[in-house]
Structure 1
Amino acid sequence: MATIGYARVSSVGQSLDIQQAALADAGCDKIFAEKKSGRRASDREQLALALDYVRAGDTLVVTRLDRLARSVIDLHHIIAKLTDKGVSFRVLQQSGIDTSTSSGKLLLTMLGAVAEFEADIRAERQKDGIEAAKVKGVYKGRPASIDPAIIQSALAAGEAPATIAKRLNIARSTVYRLKDAAPA
């Protein structure tokens, strides 16, 4: 019976150190960690590896519930997978979560719903902020990563779009978009 930890932060600029230290202090034998958004469990490679790694009798540990899932649906899928494998689940900072009891399952669902609500509110605020910045003329989107003139020049010289994309290390769709936008 092993104790397995899972740590996650949303962006590259954030640190996993505090979560990893807490998981190590909690006696985790192995820790899976990643810097990925928590919106969809299907996008998280280390979570998938942790779920594959755990065996019957093991315990999966996270520091906070929102580190595991930001969606109630994802949360229930993950917990169902753990339950099917005979793996228990523990949250360090929310110690009332025990998926073997009815009240623990209720608390899990309620806290999962709160985490999803917080994520939705954050996304709405971000969208509102972007719209307000666009109205003010401040938000222009991400700056161009490649000079369109380079692509136009290569196309005019007869170079194939796939070759251009490979040479410039960009998506072929970028080359085709500029090709289609060019005056005939």
Structure 2
Amino acid sequence: MAKIGFARVSTQDQNLDAQLEALNEAGCERVFHGKQSGKSDDNQKKLDELVDFVRDGDIVLVTKLDRLGRSLNMILNLVAQLQSKGVQVQTLDGQVDTTSDNPMQKAMTQLLGVFAELEHSIIVDRLQSGRERTGKKGGRPSKFTDEQQAEMKALYDNKTSISAIAKQYNTSRATVGNIVK
């Protein structure tokens, strides 16, 4: 069983020294670290190196849980990935300790999962609200104007076949079907 550390600061002008010192004092044999934002490719490379390096029975130590990633969902995915390899995670601040069979620690980890799901739902809701407000709901813009679509619907209502409408507008039957239904 080895203790492996991970340290990260978000910007180049921040200092890693305090995290590195704390992880070394905690007995880490090796510490992966970097100065980059949580969503950068460099950060992902460092995390990938960490995941590749650790072995069954190892413990990954971080000063605080947020050092592992930018969002709770990202952090929980990493924790799950580590646990699938038989690797446990501990924070030096004591908030998370997956090595413990303590029911309180298990509950805390599960609560983090609930909050990650909530965070994801809030983000999705914000995106959807923004799309509705701007009228941009995603996807490719329609090939046909609202007027043309209304004409297609009128033709269909007057018993013109979908195939005939598709030929008239030089499009597929599926497109006409989506418009008239």
The question of a shared fold, defined as TM-score above 0.5 by the shorter chain, is answered with yes
**1:11 — aligned with what?**
11
Q: Distance in 1 between matches of 2:9 and 2:73?
A: 20
C-alpha deviation, 1:53, in angstroms: 0.4
- Where do 1:16-165 residues align within 5 Å? 16-39=16-39, 43-93=43-93, 95-99=94-98, 100-101=100-101, 102-108=103-109, 110=111, 113=115
Cα RMSD of the aligned pairs, angstroms, is 3.0
Q: Distance in 1 between matches of 2:44 and 2:95?
A: 26
Instruction: Encode CA deviations 1:137-159: one digit per residue, 9 max, x unaligned.
Output: xxxxxxxxxxxxxxxxxxxxxxx
Contact 1:60–1:89 (8 Å) recurs in 2: yes
Contact 1:7–1:32 (8 Å) recurs in 2: yes
Q: Which runs of 5+ in 1 are unaligned?
A: 121-184
Contact 2:63–2:91 (8 Å) recurs in 1: yes
What is the TM-score of this pair, normalised by structure 2?
0.56
Cα distance change of structure 1 residues 63 and 29 upon mapping to structure 2, 3 Å threshold: same
Give 1:35's aligned amino acid.
K
| Misfit runs of 4+, over 6 Å | none
Cα distance change of structure 1 residues 17 and 48 upon mapping to structure 2, 3 Å threshold: same
Query: Which has the greater radius of gyration?
Result: 2
Q: Percent identity?
A: 41
